[in-house]
Amino acid sequence: MKKLLFYLALLLPGGLVHAQKLHLTTFGGISNYQGDLQDKRFTFKQANVAVGIGVAYELTDQLYVTANFKIGKLSANDKNSNLNQARNLNFTTSLSVVQISLEYDFLNLNVQKFTPYVFAGLSVYHFNPYTYDTAGNKQYLQPLSTEGQGFYNNNKKYSLTQIAIPFGGGIKYALTDNLRIGAEIGLSKLFTDYLDDVSNTYVDEGLLLANRGPVAVELAYRGEEINPAATYPAGGTGRGNPSGKDWYYFAGVTLSFRLGGDNSTGNRGKNKSACPVNVY
């Protein structure tokens, strides 16, 4: 909670704080991803709990600029897939996202009770994939260069903090003039294929051993853990699918509260030009 409040403070520049235009927003739901260990673009399978907090500022009655901070977790395991069970890889990562967006309501919630909406923007996110070795020790995967990042074939190490393009939409329902509840899904287009530490081909076993040690070799291919006869694939053999980048997404329930409002319901459904009780 202290971390959430800290990020919220960063998202509250003084110039935005005007009565009846600023909304405090919260989010609760799931986070998930699509990539080399989970090929479906959207699924609840292997999803994890996510939460968020933020602000929305009314530019007009239907257009907002929003800033929010979300935290979640992503994880996937080849054992839960029908495609690459023999590879036997898995990963988990925490996910922290700071996002700035423009959001548009198709209907005016100062007059109507219900509206669909869409949003798009820019985000900065941090991830750090890890797994557990056969001894039960937690191992972060990026330093292990499991596909030769940093020492083979000009394959550079991927950054753990990157930008993404978020977009999505949902529905909102006005409980009162100032309290709104909704359901939302937001997808993010990434510029990396290494959210799960899998993208391209296996690097030669001896080369990986010489450059990153036995733990890297153990975690680059784990087929022998389920099939003792399995051997490390030859260098250059496909390990992942480099043709597309990874995605992550959030889906859940939103709750927003307008700061500085009177929480009445008297204006809803009335023509604001005829009854200008609230001025925004």
- Better pLDDT: 65 or 277: 65
Residue 45 counted as domain residue? yes
CA angle 89/91/94 to nearest 5° reads: 175
> Residue 228's domain is classified under what CATH number?
2.40.160.20
Instruction: Check pLDDT > 60 for residue 134.
Output: yes
**Structure confidence at residue 82 (pLDDT):** 79
Residue 41 counted as domain residue? yes
Of all residues in the chain, the percent with pLDDT exceeding 70 is: 86
Provide the residue range defining the domain that includes 192: 2-258
**Structure confidence at residue 3 (pLDDT):** 56
Residue 279 counted as domain residue? no
Instruction: Check pLDDT > 60 for residue 275.
Output: no
Residue 267 counted as domain residue? no
Residue 274 counted as domain residue? no
Instruction: Look at the chain and report how many structural domains it folds into.
Output: 1
**pLDDT tens per residue, range 21-53:** 899 999 999 999 999 999 888 999 999 999 999
Decide: residue 85, CB within 10 A, 0-12 exposed, 13-18 middle, 19+ buried.
middle
Residue 232 counted as domain residue? yes
Instruction: Check pLDDT > 60 for residue 267.
Output: no
**pLDDT tens per residue, range 9-19:** 555 554 444 54
Of all residues in the chain, the percent with pLDDT exceeding 90 is: 79
Residue 275 counted as domain residue? no
Residue 277 counted as domain residue? no
**pLDDT tens per residue, range 198-248:** 999 999 999 999 999 999 999 999 999 999 999 999 999 999 999 999 999
